Amino acid sequence: MRRTKHSLITLPTSAQITLFLIREELKSRKHFNTLHQLGVTECHYQPHLDSLIFETLGIDASSDETFEIYDSIIERRSNKIEPTNDSVMKQAMKAYQELLSEKKKLKKH
């Protein structure tokens, strides 16, 4: 386990990787949503980290329902971020927890 400079808790490396990916997905989503609001709708450079996030969380992403749940969480959390590292990390942690909760629900089905 590694401790980051601003971390209050020590997270396993796998969780740090997943949180990094979620953080980048949230920032990217916020950026491209802003571009869309400004009228830039044809941009093919948006990264899609969903498959990597699913893989690091051990979530089977083969169903539309799973992707819709993921997309809803990421969209909602990206809309809440402010241009500060703390805000982005807070929303990434919330998204991470929500995705883990959804993973448990999906395993019960």
- Please report, for the chain, the start and end positions of each structural domain, with discontinuous segments joined by +: 13-108
What sign results for the dihedral spanned by CA atoms 54, 56, 59, 60? positive
Share of the chain above pLDDT 70, in %: 89
Distance, in Å, from the CA atom of 17 to the CA atom of 82, rounded to the nearest integer, reads 22
pLDDT over 90 (residue 109) = no
Phi, psi dihedral angles at 10 (to 5 degrees): -95, 125
Query: Residue 43 in contact with residue 29, Cβ under 8 Å?
Result: no
Distance, in Å, from the CA atom of 106 to the CA atom of 77, rounded to the nearest integer, reads 21
Provide mean pLDDT across the span 57-71.
Answer: 93
Cβ neighbour number for residue 65 with a 10 Å cutoff: 11
Distance, in Å, from the CA atom of 89 to the CA atom of 106, rounded to the nearest integer, reads 25
Q: Give the model's confidence band at 61: pLDDT under 50 very low, under 70 low, under 90 confident, else very high.
A: confident
Residue 7 confidence (pLDDT): 56
Residue 11 confidence (pLDDT): 66
pLDDT over 50 (residue 3) = no
Residue 98 confidence (pLDDT): 98
pLDDT over 50 (residue 50) = yes
CA atoms within 13 A on the CB side of 35: 13
pLDDT over 90 (residue 77) = yes
